[in-house]
């Protein structure tokens, strides 16, 4: 399994050890809330320094799998 390295503190571990936050942005259109249409980036939270960073694309598909399982 690929490992992820925090760009701030250098913490390296398996993807399951990190926290993930999807941006939940909604738009108002004609007074109705509609889901965002673009792909949402996944914000990774480092368990050591608690800083958030965005995932590099090679990990994106892997994490989508983990997140939805």
Which residues on adjacent β-strands are paired with residue 33? 28
Q: Give Cβ neighbours of residue 8 (< 8 Å, ≥ 6 apart).
A: 46, 49, 51, 53
DSSP for residue 51: -
Identified binder of Zn ion from the candidate list 4, 46, 55, 63, rule CB under 5 A: 46
- What are 49's two structure tokens? 């320094």
Query: Any contact of residue 54 with Zn ion (CB under 5 A)?
Result: no
Query: Any contact of residue 8 with Zn ion (CB under 5 A)?
Result: yes
Residues 16-45 that bind Zn ion (CB under 5 A): none
Identified binder of Zn ion from the candidate list 5, 9, 14, 56, rule CB under 5 A: 9
Residues that bind Zn ion (CB under 5 A): 6, 8-9, 11, 46, 48-49
């Amino acid at each position: 399994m690929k490992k992820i390295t925090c760009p701030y503190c250098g913490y390296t571990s398996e993807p399951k050890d990190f926290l993930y936050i999807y941006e939940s942005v909604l738009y108002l259109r004609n007074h109705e809330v509609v889901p965002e249409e673009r792909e949402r980036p996944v914000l990774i939270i480092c368990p050591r320094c608690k800083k958030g960073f965005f995932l590099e694309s090679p990990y994106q598909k892997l994490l989508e799998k983990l997140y939805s399982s």
